[in-house]
Homo-oligomer: A and B are copies of this chain.
Amino acid sequence: MTSNQLFNLIREKRSFLCIGLDTDINKIPGHLLQMKDPIFEFNKAIVDTTHNLVVAYKPNLAFYESLGAKGWESLEKTVDYIRRKTKDIFLIADAKRGDIGNTSALYARTFFETFNFDAVTLAPYMGLDTVSPFLDYEDKWSIILALTSNKSAEDFQYLTDKDSGKRLYETVLEKSSRWGTTDQMMYVVGATKAEALKDIRKIVPNHFLLVPGVGAQGGSLEEVAKYGMNDHCGLLVNSSRGIIYASSGEDFAEQAGTKAREMQKEMAGLLKENSLI
């Protein structure tokens, strides 16, 4: 998918919502546990009630890996189900991988070939080698961690470089934005750091940003749009727990649909305000 196609999808669906399928076997409604593959059944129900309201899904791999081989089967089935259900979706593997070149090439094979993801999140610590194998795939995306939503993001991401006077996350943005095009690279910027988006947009005015941290982690959608939206939206805003665990009862999927609808409506408003729809 190109960035233009992604923008078209956003306009069609009047939404830039991404749902994080962080499906925890310890948190899903009890009645699902009797089924053969509870994780898949949960995801399937969530997808059924939300796929018209979102442009992206983002399973975080940790939740699947924690169940070993069985968890990977649930993930495979989830990806297949979403692909069968709808063509108009951007699928992100939230894996935060990063390794030396020959190993990164294998991770790229995993997420872009074994699985049919559109994008994968990557940690920048090891530099270009770790990203370049992912850039070899046409129409696939690398989403680099820049400024993350967690508290201890400041431990290293805020360090200031002696020569350039830039913070580490700014250096990551500046340097890595030269590695690929705006059709193959995005950045993770936490909604909890919404004001930083203003300066981030000076460094990467045209890139899409994947913004977690709205909802459970406390970030504001309005602030994110205010500081981060560009002329092709340029935002995918993720919500996980706030949507998928909206109810712990048998109506979990219906309630998730309601929550997603609320966010989609707010997003449609913001897109209109910015004359994008």
Contacts and interface: CB of A to CB of B under 8 A. Distances in A.
A254 interface: no
A100 B188 CA distance: 13
11 contacts: A66-B106, A67-B114, A98-B123, A100-B149, A125-B157, A126-B153, A126-B155, A129-B150, A129-B151, A159-B159, A161-B161
Interface string A81-99: 0000000000000001111
Give the copy number: 2
Interface stretch (A28-36, A42-50, A168-176, A196-204): A168-176
A154 to B, nearest CB: 7
A160 B162 CA distance: 6
A9 to B, nearest CB: 27
A148 interface: yes
Contacts of A168: 156, 159, 168
A69 B76 contact: yes
A231 interface: no
What are the nearest 7 A-B pairs in CB distance?
A127-B155, A127-B152, A69-B72, A128-B152, A62-B106, A100-B150, A129-B152
